[in-house]
Amino acid sequence: MSSTGDKIKGYTNEAVGKAKRAVGDATDDPKLKAEGDAQEARGDVQKTVGKAKDAVKDVVDKL
């Protein structure tokens, strides 16, 4: 997957995770809140992967 794709998926997972966590808080559903936290964390990792790919590409392009 491209760096842009990784970042888009990361932002999407992060947003969906935040929404799940908010619904879990509002409905007092600890399982849904935990799922939201996990999905948000997964989104953070995906964004980081995308940024790392960009950094590697920048270094390679400078060579």
Q: Where are the domains of the chain?
A: 3-62
- The CA distance from 13 to 50, in Å, is 14
| pTM score | 0.82
Quote the pLDDT of residue 2: 87
pLDDT at 1 over 80: no
1, 16, 41 from 10: Cα distances, Å: 12, 10, 9
User: Up-side HSE of residue 46: CA atoms within 13 Å toward CB?
Assistant: 20
Quote the pLDDT of residue 46: 95
Which pLDDT tens digit goes with each residue over 2-36? 889 999 999 999 999 999 999 999 999 999 999 99
